[in-house]
Structures are given as C-alpha cells and as structure tokens.
Amino acid sequence: MNNRVFNPRATSQVRTLLILAAVNIIIMVALSFLSRTFLTYGNMTAVMMRMSELAMLAIAETIVIISGGFDLSVGATMALSGAVAGTLYVAGISFPVAFTIALAAGVAVGALNAFLVVALRLQPFIVTVATMSMVRSVVYALLKGNVLTEFPEGFLNLGYVYLLKIPVIFLIVAATAVLVIILLRRTIVGRRIFAIGANERTAFISGIHVKRIKFLVYCLAGLICALGGLLFTARIRAIIPDAGLNAPLEVITAVLIGGTLITGGKGSVIGSLLGILAMFLLVNGFNLLGLNPFWEVIILGIILIYVVGQESISRSFGALINRRKSDRPISTS
C-alpha cells in the first residue's frame, strides 16, 4: 500500500519549476539563433558573474517571504556592506576585521527590521521601506557620494578567480543556495519557517516560538545580503553609492516568478534562482541585440503586476467572459 500523501502545493511547485526551466531553455535557444556570441564561454561566465549578487539577494528574499514577511531593504543592505568594509579598511582596520564587521552590519539591519516587525508589530512593507531609506542614507554618508575603490588587491581579484572554469563568485552563490535549501527542507527550523508563513496563529498554538524564528529569518537575510554586497564589490572592483538601487523590484519579481507565494508558506530557492537566471538572460539578450535597456524595467513591472495579481486578473477575465455569455440573446429557433 502506498502511504504517500498527495500534496497539491508540492505538485504545483514542481510544475512551476519545470515551466521556469523550460522558459530558460527557450530563451537560450532563441538567443543562440539571434546572436552568435550568446553561447560563447566568455558570455556565459559573464552572465554567471553578473547575476551573482542579485541571486544572493533573491535567496535572502525567498526566506523572508516564505516566513510571511517582506523586505525591501535588500539592495540598501547590499550597498551598506561594501561601504562599511571599504570605509573601515581606508581608516586602517585590517580587511578581515572590516569584512566581518561588514557582515555584522547586514545582520544589524536584519535585526532592526525584525525588531520593528516582530516586537512593535509594524507592517513589514512600511518598515522595510523606511529602513531602506535609512540604510541608503548611511551609505551615502559613508561614501560621501563617491565611488570607493580602495580595497585589498587579493579581495578584488576574487571577482576574476575561476575554479573548474566556473567563477568562484558564482560557486559561492551556489554553495549558499545549497545551505539555505538544506535549512528550509531538511531542518526543524525550516519546517517552522514554512509553518509560520502558512498560518502564524496556528504555528503559535502548535508551540512554535514565532518571534524567535522571525528574528532569525530577518537576521539571516541581512547576513546573506551583506555577503552579496561584498561579492558585488569584488566583481566591479569598487563600491558605488547607488549599488542595488533597483534590486528590490528585480529580486521580488524573480522570487514571485519562482513560485514563492507573496502571502508566505510556500516557496523555493531553486525557483527564485531560475527567475533571476531568466531575467539576466533577457538582459543579456537585450545587450547583445542592441535593444533599449529601459524596456527591461517596464517588462519587469508588467511581470510583477501579473504574478502578484494573476488570480484576481484570471477571476476578472473569467467573470467578464461569463457576463458576455449571459448577455447573449437566447435563440428561439
């Protein structure tokens, strides 16, 4: 006798992953015909490197949204870590210490978000909009509007180190993704994160320490974003004040495309990474074909509106079709 329990959510998630994988393959096949340079080793590694920092942010955002939260401060946190590391290094602090403090700064942003959301019971959207502005202001203050390039050469060279012909930066992203997937799918903490996102009150009644888990989620997200910011700094060999400025739109779009419910309780790190990959393949295609990059943001906005409101959109179209059918005159012949 088969004791497996049918899980419609799991089936839906697998279907989403398969569709996303198919979309990525279709994009790659189409671009390989449209551009001779698309499938070259240099272009493929460039895509891997360029998507790395946003992939880190997508991993962080996935954890937060699965738990029922929301975080718009991911891009600002990314910029903060590079700014903190560079500023401390210029001030004479050894880079390993500066690196550690930069990661701690990301955790601090996550802890601040968690305190405001969990302890003060404020709305995550409003809280993270506020902290995004605050953190971005700190970045501008630290950098004074300038680009900071004074980092150790060994750290900056990390952006151009390859292992088995794969960029090390991309391998760090892959390792982070594997660790987070294990956390979410193979540990008690992961199951509790899903439970809180699905129904926070039920999770509390079941004995889960909701506040403690939410603090952990936001702090972990801040840590991953900070690491993403340091990878970004190594890749471009500098930190700029506007680093990650458009990241929230891009990351949230990728996460929702990847099958993570905006209401929480369901999500996939692999889906989010496939969403990021699809976006960067499109961006890469725009660049190779010489198309206007401003359309990228418009397309992302349209996709985000559809993904978030697809049920309402489908329901509205269904109601409109049914209304038209009911308005048709009944034939008496």
What's 224's domain CATH number? Answer: 1.10.3470
In a domain, 3, yes or no: no
Task: Phi first, then psi: give them for residue 162, nearest 5 degrees.
Answer: -120, 145
C-beta separation of 257 from 278 below 8 A = yes
Do 194 and 313 belong together in one domain?
no
- Sign of torsion over alpha carbons 305, 251, 204, 194: positive
In tens, the pLDDT along 30-50 reads: 889 988 899 899 999 999 999
Tokens of 321: 């079709």
Judge contact between 264 and 65, C-beta under 8 A: yes
Same domain, 306 and 210: no
26 belongs to a structural domain: no
pLDDT tens digit sequence for 287-316: 888 877 677 667 766 776 766 655 555 556
pLDDT confidence tier of residue 14, bands split at 50, 70 and 90: confident
Which of 17-21, 23-27, 66-70, 316-320 has the lowest average pLDDT?
Answer: 316-320
* Mean pLDDT along residues 112-129: 95
Residue 81 lies in a domain: yes
**Are residues 127 and 215 part of one domain?**
yes
Q: What is the pLDDT of residue 5?
A: 46
Is 276 inside a domain boundary?
Answer: yes
Q: What are the tens digits of pLDDT across the range 182-209?
A: 999 999 999 999 999 999 999 999 999 9
Mean pLDDT of 93-107: 96
Q: CA-CA distance, 42 to 296, in Å (whole number)?
A: 23
Q: How many structural domains does the chain have?
A: 2
Whether 179 and 196 map to the same domain: the answer is yes
Q: Is residue 25 part of a domain?
A: no
Q: Is residue 129 domain-shared with residue 148, that is, in the same domain?
A: yes
Q: Is residue 21 part of a domain?
A: no
Query: 322 and 275, same structural domain?
Result: no
Residues 116 and 168 in one domain: yes
d(CA 77, CA 132) in angstroms, rounded, equals 8
- 165, 311: one domain: no
Note down the domain range covering 299.
Answer: 292-327
- Same domain? For 56 and 194 the reply is yes
Give the mean pLDDT of 92-121: 96
- Is residue 55 in some structural domain? yes
What are the tokens at 289? 């074909």
How high is the pLDDT of residue 1?
42
Residues 102 and 179 in one domain: yes
Residue 327 — very low, low, confident or very high, per pLDDT cuts 50/70/90?
low
What's the mean pLDDT in 53-66?
96
Q: Residue 207: what pLDDT?
A: 92
Strand-pairing partners, residue 148, are: 239
pLDDT given for residue 23 in this prediction = 85
Residue 10 lies in a domain: no
- pLDDT at 330 > cutoff 60: no
DSSP string, 228-296: HHHHHHHHHTSB-TTTTTTHHHHHHHHHHHTT--TTSS---HHHHHHHHHHHHHHHHHHHHHT--THHH
Q: Are residues 320 and 274 in the same domain?
A: no
CA angle 19, 177, 248 (to 5 degrees): 75
**Do 130 and 48 share a structural domain?**
yes
